[in-house]
Structure 1
Amino acid sequence: MQDLSAYDDHELMDLIKRDNQVAFETLFDRYGAVLISHTHRKLLDMAAAEDVVQDIFIKLWERRKEINCDNIAGYLFTSARHMVLNVIKHRQVIVRYEKDFKHFVENHPINSTEHIIQKKELEAILMAEIDKLSPRMRQVFILSRQENLSHQQIADRLGISKFTVNDHIKASLRILKTKIGLILLLILWSNHFNG
C-alpha cells in the first residue's frame, strides 16, 4: 500500500475526489482518533463517539466529489459538532419516550403473568424480524446488540471494515424500526431478555 502520510490534507482530498481509498484511509488515520476523542468528551459514550466519526467519514466519502473545502480539519470538526448536537437531541427524544412509557406502565398496572407472556411475545416478534435480515446483517446486528461487541471487534472477527459494520447496524435498525416501530424497539432493547 502506498504511503501518503507526507501528503497534506488538500493533496489527500484531491486524491479522494479521484476515488483513491488509500488517501481516504490516510485522512481517517490522521483525524479519526482525535475526532473520536473529541466526540467522546462531548457524548461520554465511546460507541456513540465511534458511530459519529464513522458517519462523518462515510458522508465524506459519499460526498467526496462535491466537497470544496480549504480546511478539511475544520470541515471534519464542524461536522462532528453538528452530529454531536443531533445525537444529544435524539437522546432527549428517547428519554422522553422512556419517561412516557414508564409513566404509562406505572398508571396501567397489569398482571405480572400477563406481562411476562406479553414480553415473551414481543421478544418473539423482534427475533422473528431479526431472523428476516440478510445473513451478514443479522450476524453483525447480533454481535453488536446481543454480544455487545464494538464495531472494531466485529470488523476484526468478520474480516470487514468498520464502515461496513456501521452500515449493517444502521440498515438493521432502520428495517426493524419500520417493521415493529421505534417505541416497541426501544422498549424491547431496554428490557431485552432481562427477566
Structure 2
Amino acid sequence: MQNYQLYTDDALLTLLKIDDGQAFNEVYNRYWKMLFSLASSRLRNTHTAEDIIHDVFASLWKNRKNADIHSLQHYLASSTRYLVFKVIRKNAHAHQYAPSDPDIIFEPENSLHNKYLLEFIAREVDTLPEKCRMVFKYSREKGLTNKEIALEMNITSKTVENQINKALHHLRFSMKKILMML
C-alpha cells in the first residue's frame, strides 16, 4: 500500500489526471483545513464555508484531466477565494458577513488558523538542514539560551546565533509565500 502523504503536490496532480482516487483523498486531507479556515474567516456561516470547500474539491475532480495547475495549493486557495467573494457578491445583505463581535464569532476559525500555522511551521522546520533544525528546536522548543545550545552541541555561541537567524529567515520567507497565496 502506497503512502500518499509522502508524495509532492506535483506527483499527486499527475496521479489525479489518471483518476487515482487515493491521490484525491490525500489532496483533500492535506488542504481541506486550510481552505475551510480561509473560507470561514470571511464568512459568518460555517455551512456555507463547507459548501464552498465541497465545490472547490468537486471542481478539482471534475477538471482534473484538463486543468493546467502549476501550484496545487495556490489553485485551491484561489478557487476558494473566488467562490467566497462570489457568495458575498450574491448576497444582497453583505453586511451580515461583517460580525459585530469578531472575537466571539471567529474564535473557532482563529483556532483553525493557528493550528494550520503551527503545522506549517513544523513542516518548514523539518526541511531545515540538520544542524540548523537542532539549534532552532533547542532554542524554541526547549527554551535553551544560545550559550546552553553552544555547550550542548559543542559549537560557538556565534554559530548558534547564525543558525537561528538562518532558520528564522527561512521561516519568514516561507510565511511570505503562503500569505501571498491566501
What TM-score, normalized by structure 2, do the two folds share? 0.49
TM (norm. structure 1) is 0.46
For CA contacts below 8 A with separation 6 or more, give which structure has more relative contact order: 2
